[in-house]
Structure 1
């Protein structure tokens, strides 16, 4: 079963068995508004230069994009947090293709605004062999152009569903990244970008493999 098939099944179960219709209506409206805003189209895309960053891993050690790119291309995935079952399926699917990514000389890393404790939980529960770094307040997500602010009615729903972002992220900006996947070449230029204003839609992790192959062939790794 593809990742999107799993996400579609989860969405159907959530909307028909777990969430009341008024909650589903708000979530659909906010997603539609985010799509209509055109923000995803204004975010960084292939051909743009990726921001340079240094972010802490769950142990507080700074992870530098420059250090990572000195070793190989970087597959960077932004996700919402340990509370999001759609994101957890995405992380698990990425873990399945991690050996193929690494076989191509690339590195895989996830970015989330959540606290270090929640990143450790994500790594443990999803059995991840790749690092998660913390983007407090979504500062890096903002540089990529993918950070957005949740309206008050969606904030209330998050609290109702046990996904209070103030608690999960350790700050009260009530912002999230749109789920996004990037491949960054060793020259710092983005070779692939997939940004999803609809959090229930994600690219297949294997989509990055031909991109990594092309980087290797072109010598842009």
Structure 2
């Protein structure tokens, strides 16, 4: 089953209010409204694209160690996945799919990192919960996400909904801003050029790990 098939199956159960989710219909409709408005805003069109130069970054991993994109790229091309946080089931399924694809990426000489705004303890939870063998990096205030054109502010009505659901993003992220990255996947070449980019304002839609293989094979051949 593909990653998107798994996401679609989860979404269908979640939106149907099936156990263990039991989510009231007004909650589902509010989430759908927020996603529709983000899509309509055109925010994704402002994100970096293939052919653009990727911003350099240095971020802390789940153990607080500094990880530099320049050092990672010195070893080969780099797959970078931006995700919302350990509280997001869609993100966790994506991380698991990336973990399954990690040996294929490594065989092509590529590294893999995932970036979220959450704090290091929550990144450790991501690593542990999803049995990950690649670094999870913390992006305070979503500054690196903003450099890639991914950061957006949650609308007030969605903030109120999240508060009611005890989904306290300021606590998860150590940041009072109530901002998130649009989920995105990039392949960055060793020269810093973006070889592949997929950004989707609908957090229930994620590219397949296999979608990046042509870019990685091209980078290896070059």
What range is the shorter-chain TM-score in? Answer: over 0.9
Q: How many aligned positions are there? A: 218
User: d(CA) in 2 for partners of 1:112 and 1:12?
Assistant: 25
Could you tell which deviates more after superposition, 196-205 or 55-64?
55-64
Q: Select which of 44, 47, 59 maps to 2:48.
A: 44
SS state at 2:161 partner: helix
Gaps in structure 1 of 5+ consecutive residues: none
Normalising by structure 1, what TM-score?
Answer: 0.97
Instruction: Please name the residue that 1:12 is paired with.
Output: 12
Deviation at 1:154, TM superposition (A): 0.8
User: d(CA) in 1 for partners of 2:62 and 2:25?
Assistant: 37
1:129 aligns with 2:133: yes
SS state at 2:112 partner: strand
Deviation at 1:176, TM superposition (A): 0.3
User: d(CA) in 1 for partners of 2:58 and 2:159?
Assistant: 29
Tell me how large the CA RMSD over aligned residues is: 0.8
SS state at 2:40 partner: helix
1:55 aligns with 2:64: no
Instruction: Please name the residue that 2:28 is paired with.
Output: 24
Alignment of 1:43-122 (within 5 A): 43-122=47-126
Instruction: Please name the residue that 1:146 is paired with.
Output: 150
Normalising by structure 2, what TM-score?
Answer: 0.96
Gaps in structure 2 of 5+ consecutive residues: none
SS state at 2:31 partner: helix
| 1:104-124 per-position Cα deviation (integer Å, ceiling 9, x unaligned) | 000000001001000000000
> After TM superposition, which residue ranges in structure 1, 4 or more long, deviate above 3 angstroms?
none
Q: Select which of 206, 215, 219 maps to 2:219.
A: 215
Deviation at 1:39, TM superposition (A): 1.0
